[in-house]
Amino acid sequence: MSEPDTYRAHLRATLGLGLPLVGSHLAQFAVQLTDAVMLGWYGVEALAAEVLGGMLFFVLFIMGSGFAFAVMPMVAEAVAADEQARVRRVTRMGMWLSVLFGLASLPLFIWSGALFVALGQAPRIAALAADYLHIAGPAILPALVVMVLKSYLAALERTQMVLWVTLGAVAVNIVINYALIFGNWGAPEMGVRGAAVASAAVHSVSLVLLAVYAARATREHTLFQRLWRPDGEAFALVFRLGWPIGITNLAEMGLFAASSVMMGWLGAQALAAHGIALQVASVTFMVHLGLSNAATVRAGRALGRRDAAGLRRGAEVVLALSGAVGLATVAVFLLVPEWLMGLFLSPDDPQRDAVVSIGVGLLAAAALFQLADAAQVIALGLLRGVQDTRVPMVIAALAYWAVGIPVSYVLGFGLGWGGVGVWLGLAAGLALAGVFMLLRFRGWLARTAGRALG
């Protein structure tokens, strides 16, 4: 089925699909953001521990989400080609693979305390981070299945319910955090462990709500009927497309995880400032990620329709949208950094001024990589839409690990630039990835679009 191929039509379609996805990603991130804000008001040590524990959880979560991200373009292409059975098959096997990955991750959460100490973190912070993960870690299982269902519904362009469920999760997280972090309403004061209980509850409730909605709203796919039955062919297809996405995600998140470890070497104040600055920068990344998901679905639909011209024009529109957001973000980071940092810290905290001072420099460095980050995540979304995942995996690994991490270490510690040097290394890795991902997509269009889609 064709659709209007004008820039206005592509803009309208991209915003119609992308804005609810942006909203759901921002709402999902708000769960982490409220943890950081409320723990920051509870104490700098608790915040630093959550930065470490949340970092390990998120690295494994985003790696395991590769299978969910693989479901999105495969379902989008199948819908455009009117292959409904394939929609059901790949979604089910995406859930299988996600659960298997989650189970394999559990030992890392169990022994996380020793891991953090081995990575040079302060024993007190490592112990608190381990307390967090002993409770929150098992929630990676429902969290990964939620990602599969979100990808499935996004590919069907049913994004409104995803947004509402995620907004509800934010409210639940705030209420449980308020009770259990601080010991309000007669609840025990649990500090960082209270935040972990809230996160586990949110992931579990989100899974139940999305599963019920998917079962009722998409009855034609009988998604959960005989879910326990294996499907070797679909399992292999999702695995082949998903594992490179998972490694790509790991390469990028590993870059930020390594930066968290390096910031931990500089002390609790530097790590807390890093955690806050990372939360702030991640807000804008969620906007780009939502647009990237829309790009994946739109590219997957174009692939299913064999619409090369629509693919090209849609790519131009989503890149322009993301670039505009990046420019606005640069201005905000440079104009009001103290205000942004101060939102996360109690005015009475004796370490507040030191943390804010460090964070201002980090946000200035973050401003440098906004356009590069936008370019790489949108290009990745487009490449995933056309099911090109292995070369992007290699690009990501080289840009982030062969360039980003070494540059962070050299600038931060070799030249003594501290936290700002670490963040400039992040900028270098993201910039390199952005350039080469865009060149890869442009090359894919030049080599393949005419033959495969025309």
Q: Return the closest-CA partner of residue 323 out of 281, 374, 364, 287.
A: 374
400 in Cβ contact with 254 (< 8 Å): yes
SS3 of the chain: helix, strand, coil, percent, to 5: 85, 0, 15
Segment 219-226 mean pLDDT: 81
For residues 451 and 252, give the distance between their C-alpha atoms in angstroms, rounded to a whole number. 32
DSSP for 203-230, written as a single string: HHHHHHHHHHHHHHHTGGG-TTTTTTS-
pLDDT score, position 83: 86
> What's the token pair of residue 369?
């990589």
pLDDT score, position 221: 81
pLDDT score, position 451: 58
Least confident of 6-10, 207-211, 241-245: 6-10
pLDDT score, position 2: 53
C-alpha angle with apex 314: 87 to 84, nearest 5 degrees?
Answer: 10
> What's the token pair of residue 279?
């939360």
For residues 140 and 65, give the distance between their C-alpha atoms in angstroms, rounded to a whole number. 10
Model confidence at 268: pLDDT above 60 = yes
Segment 335-358 mean pLDDT: 85
pLDDT confidence band for 1 (50 / 70 / 90): very low
235 in Cβ contact with 93 (< 8 Å): yes
pLDDT in tens, 106-138: 999 999 988 888 888 888 888 999 999 999 999
Residue 387's region, left for phi above 0, alpha for psi from -120 to 50, else beta, is left
pLDDT confidence band for 169 (50 / 70 / 90): confident
pLDDT score, position 449: 56
Model confidence at 144: pLDDT above 90 = yes
User: Burial of 372 by CB count in 10 Å (0-12 exposed, 13-18 middle, 19+ buried)?
Assistant: buried
Model confidence at 37: pLDDT above 90 = no
pLDDT score, position 82: 82
pLDDT in tens, 297-334: 998 888 888 888 888 888 999 999 999 999 999 999 99
Least confident of 123-137, 390-404, 440-454: 440-454
User: Burial of 378 by CB count in 10 Å (0-12 exposed, 13-18 middle, 19+ buried)?
Assistant: buried
CB atoms within 10 A of CB 4: 10
pLDDT confidence band for 446 (50 / 70 / 90): confident
Q: How many residues does the chain have?
A: 454
For residues 235 and 245, give the distance between their C-alpha atoms in angstroms, rounded to a whole number. 15
Handedness of CA 431, 432, 437, 438 (dihedral sign): positive
Threshold 0.95, pTM exceeds: no
Segment 149-163 mean pLDDT: 89
Position 386: which residue type?
V
Instruction: Tell me how far CA of residue 133 lies from CA of 195, 223, 244, in angstroms.
Output: 10, 31, 26
Segment 369-384 mean pLDDT: 89
Segment 280-292 mean pLDDT: 88
Model confidence at 148: pLDDT above 90 = yes
Domain coordinates of the chain in residue numbers?
7-452
CA atoms within 13 A on the CB side of 309: 6
The mean of the pLDDT values for the chain is 88
Handedness of CA 159, 165, 167, 173 (dihedral sign): negative
Model confidence at 145: pLDDT above 50 = yes
> What's the token pair of residue 232?
């070797």
pLDDT score, position 81: 82
Model confidence at 140: pLDDT above 50 = yes
3-state secondary structure at position 181: coil
Q: Return the closest-CA partner of residue 278 out of 74, 48, 121.
A: 48
Residue 412 DSSP one-character state: I
Model confidence at 59: pLDDT above 50 = yes
Model confidence at 408: pLDDT above 90 = yes
For residues 308 and 451, give the distance between their C-alpha atoms in angstroms, rounded to a whole number. 9
417 in Cβ contact with 105 (< 8 Å): no
294 in Cβ contact with 14 (< 8 Å): yes
pLDDT confidence band for 452 (50 / 70 / 90): low
Helices (H), 2-65: 7-42, 44-64
For residues 281 and 256, give the distance between their C-alpha atoms in angstroms, rounded to a whole number. 12
Q: To the nearest whole percent, how much of the chain has pLDDT over 90?
A: 41
Helix axes 44-64, 192-217, angle to 10 degrees: 30
pLDDT in tens, 75-103: 998 888 888 889 889 999 999 999 999 99
390 in Cβ contact with 246 (< 8 Å): no
For residues 393 and 341, give the distance between their C-alpha atoms in angstroms, rounded to a whole number. 33
> What's the token pair of residue 300?
């997957």
Q: Return the closest-CA partner of residue 47 out of 359, 453, 377.
A: 359
